Structure 1
Amino acid sequence: MIGIFLITHGTLGESLIQCCCHVLNKRPVQIAQLGVSAQDDPLDVLPLARNMLGWVDGGEGVLVLTDIYGATPSNIAAKLVMPGRIELVAGVNLPMLLRVLTYRERDMPTLVKRAVSGACDGVLHVDAN
């Protein structure tokens, strides 16, 4: 099973995990989150992120999810990437995370594609008519 590690601004990652717990009626295994605040020095957070990555890596790799590409959490996460083993997808939202949790038994390339499609498919204009 591929591990899931969220690195986000503030408490967004934990909030997304809690929403998944509600939808799935249980807390998924091999999932962790690291919230980064404005006061955090990225160089101080990076060793913690590397350590936490090990918490969710069961041997099949880890998909790291972050909120905004180019922001501090994303920049920290980018330093963890090891192509094929530790992959990164930015733009995390609840549909993406639920899709990832559903397909994490598959291989990493499939999981990355499902993550992106889950995020995009979850964005809809709802017409009131």
Structure 2
Amino acid sequence: MIGIFLVTHGTLGESLIQNVCHVLNKRPPLIAQLGVAAQDDPLDILPLARLLLQEVDGGEGVLVMTDVFGATPGNLALKLLAPGRVEGVSGVSLPMLLRALTYRERGMETMVQKAISGARDGVVRLPPALGSGAGEG
């Protein structure tokens, strides 16, 4: 099973994991998060990030998920990558995380592609409520 490690701003990763637990009615194995605060020095928290990464590596690799490419958590995530063993995606969302969890037994490349498509497919325009009067006024 491929591990999942979220590296995000503040408590976003923790909130995503809590919501996954709610949706799945259980906490998935081999998942962890590291919230990066504004005052954190990335070089100071890199050893903790590496430790957490090791904790979720069950032997089949780890997918690192981060929120914003180019921001501090994303830059920290880049330092953890090892092609074929530790892969990364940015733009983490609940649909992306749920899709990654669904496909984590099918290999890293499939998991990465399904996670990305889960995020992309999770963005939809909501149809107007028919006859509800919502938004009127």
Shorter chain as denominator, the TM-score bin is over 0.9
1:51 maps to which residue?
Answer: 51
Q: Which runs of 5+ in 2 are unaligned?
A: 131-137
In structure 2, give the amino acid aligned to 1:67: D
Shift of 1:127: 2.1
Matches within 5 A, 1:86-101: 86-101=86-101
The structure 1 segments of at least 4 consecutive aligned residues displaced by more than 6 Å after TM superposition are none
Shift of 1:126: 1.0
1:12 maps to which residue?
Answer: 12
Matches within 5 A, 1:26-41: 26-41=26-41
In structure 2, give the amino acid aligned to 1:25: N
Matches within 5 A, 1:98-113: 98-113=98-113
Q: Does 1:76 align with 2:76?
A: yes
1:127 maps to which residue?
Answer: 127
**In structure 1, C-alpha distance between the alignment counterparts of 2:125 and 2:80, rounded to whole Å:** 35
**In structure 2, C-alpha distance between the alignment counterparts of 1:45 and 1:67, rounded to whole Å:** 17
Map Cα deviations across residues 71-102 of structure 1 (whole Å, 9 max, x no partner). 00000000000001000000000000000111
**In structure 1, C-alpha distance between the alignment counterparts of 2:107 and 2:94, rounded to whole Å:** 21
**In structure 1, C-alpha distance between the alignment counterparts of 2:114 and 2:124, rounded to whole Å:** 17
Shift of 1:40: 0.1
**In structure 2, C-alpha distance between the alignment counterparts of 1:45 and 1:119, rounded to whole Å:** 27
TM-score, normalising length: structure 2: 0.93
Shift of 1:27: 0.4
RMSD: 0.6
Shift of 1:45: 0.9
| SS of equivalent to 1:80 | coil
Q: Does 1:60 align with 2:63?
A: no
Query: When the two structures are aligned, how many residues end up with a matched partner?
Result: 129
* Percent identity between the two aligned chains: 71
| SS of equivalent to 2:87 | strand
Larger Rg: 2
**In structure 1, C-alpha distance between the alignment counterparts of 2:97 and 2:109, rounded to whole Å:** 16
